[in-house]
Amino acid sequence: MTNSVSNNSVSTEDFFDSVAAKSDSGSLRGDYRLADKDYVVAQDWAAYTPEQHALWRRLYERQAKLIPGRACDVFLESLGRLDVSQGIPQFEGISDTLFKTTGWRLVAVPGLVPDQTFFEHLAHRRFPVTVWLREPEEFDYIVEPDVFHDFFGHVPLLFDPIFADHLQEYGKGGLKAMKLDGLGMLARLYWYTIEFGLIDSPQGLRAYGAGILSSGGEIIHCLNSPQPRRIAFDVERVMRTLYRIDAYQETYFVIRDFQQLFNDTASDFTPLYAALQSQPPLAASSLLVEEINLPLRQSSDDAQSA
C-alpha cells in the first residue's frame, strides 16, 4: 500500500474522479474537507478515543511478537527507540526527532493522496501518514493504509540515513516518471521494495517492506512459507512484474542491503521506461530460466517463532 492514487493531476475533482473509477463505493475513508493544497491536515491527537488507543495497543502487541527474527535489525532498533506501544503516537514530537536524525518530517494526511502530491512530499523529505485508524473488524486486513500501517510499517526505517535518502530519490523519480509514462513501472518498484521488500542478512532473510511489517499474516508467509518465490533484486525485473493487492505476494525481491537499493535505483530510468514499453509484463508468479529461487535460510529465531 502506498499513500498515493494513480492520477496525473493534483486537482481535487480529477483526484476523486480517479477514486470513483477504482472503488465500488467511489469514496475514500478519510475526511478531506480540512486538507490544504498539499492534502495536509492537523492530526488532532486529542480526538482519538480510548477504544482507538486500545486497538492500536492490540495491533502493536501482535506485531511486536512477530517481528523478532523476521524484521531487519534497523527496523527493530528504530521501533524500540520510538516507544509507541501504548497508543496512537503524536506525530509532532516524533517528527522533530526524525528531522534531527535524517532531515525528514511527518505530515498528517486524510488518507490516499494524488501521485504528484505524494511524490512532492517524498522529494522534500516529508512522509505522509494517514490520521485515521481501522475499525476493530479490520484488525487482520484493511484495504486502504491507515495510521498503523503508515506509522508502524514505514516510519522506523526513515531513521536509517541510506533508506531515507533512497525514499527521497524515489519521490524525485516519481515526479519525472509522470512525464514519461512510467508510473506503472515505478509503482511496481515501490510495491516490491518499500512495501514488500526482503533483505538478506547473515542471520537469514528479513523483511523491511511496510506492507509485511504491519501485517499479522504476511510477515509469516513471506519468510516461512515454501510457496512464494524469493528472487535477487533486479530493477528491470521488478518493473516488469505485476503484483497482487488482494492476496499474499507470490514473489518477493531480495536486496543485499540498503546501499544496493540506493545505488541500483539511482540511475536515470528514462531509457529503461522506453525499453520496457515494448515488453510484456511478467506474471506475479513468474520465475525466469536464469533466476534462482533463494532458499529461506531460516535462523534459529525464525524456527522458534514459526
Report the distance separating Cα 103 and Cα 75, nearest Å. 18
Percent of the chain with pLDDT over 70: 88
Active-site residue, 154 included: yes
pLDDT score of 229:
95
φ, ψ for residue 189, nearest 5 deg: -65, -45
Report the distance separating Cα 155 and Cα 99, nearest Å. 12
| Continuous H helices in the chain | 12-22, 50-66, 73-82, 91-102, 115-123, 147-148, 161-177, 183-190, 210-213, 218-224, 235-240, 258-264, 270-276, 300-305
Q: Which of 1, 72, 67, 75 is nearest to 219 (CA)?
A: 67
User: In a 10 Å sphere around its CB, with 0-12 CB exposed, 13-18 middle and 19+ buried, how is residue 264 labelled?
Assistant: middle
Give the residue-averaged pLDDT of 147-160.
98
pLDDT score of 10:
43
| Stated pTM of the model | 0.91
Phi-psi region of 204 (alpha: psi -120 to 50; beta: other; left: phi over 0): left
pLDDT score of 211:
97
Select which of 4, 121, 166, 195 is catalytic: 195
* 8 A C-beta contact, residue 26 and residue 20: yes
Active-site residue, 124 included: no
Report the distance separating Cα 186 and Cα 182, nearest Å. 6
Active-site residue, 92 included: no
Q: Given a cut of 90, is residue 54 above it in pLDDT?
A: yes
Which residues in 276-293 are b (16+ Cβ under 10 Å) and which e? beeeeebebebeeeeeee
Report the distance separating Cα 183 and Cα 273, nearest Å. 9
Select which of 4, 149, 218, 305 is catalytic: 149
Give the residue-averaged pLDDT of 138-161.
96
- pLDDT-derived band at 22 (thresholds 50, 70, 90) equals very low
- pLDDT-derived band at 294 (thresholds 50, 70, 90) equals confident
Active-site residue, 149 included: yes
pLDDT score of 274:
95
Give the residue-averaged pLDDT of 58-65.
98
Select which of 4, 154, 166, 299 is catalytic: 154
Which residues make beta-bridge pairs with 255? 199
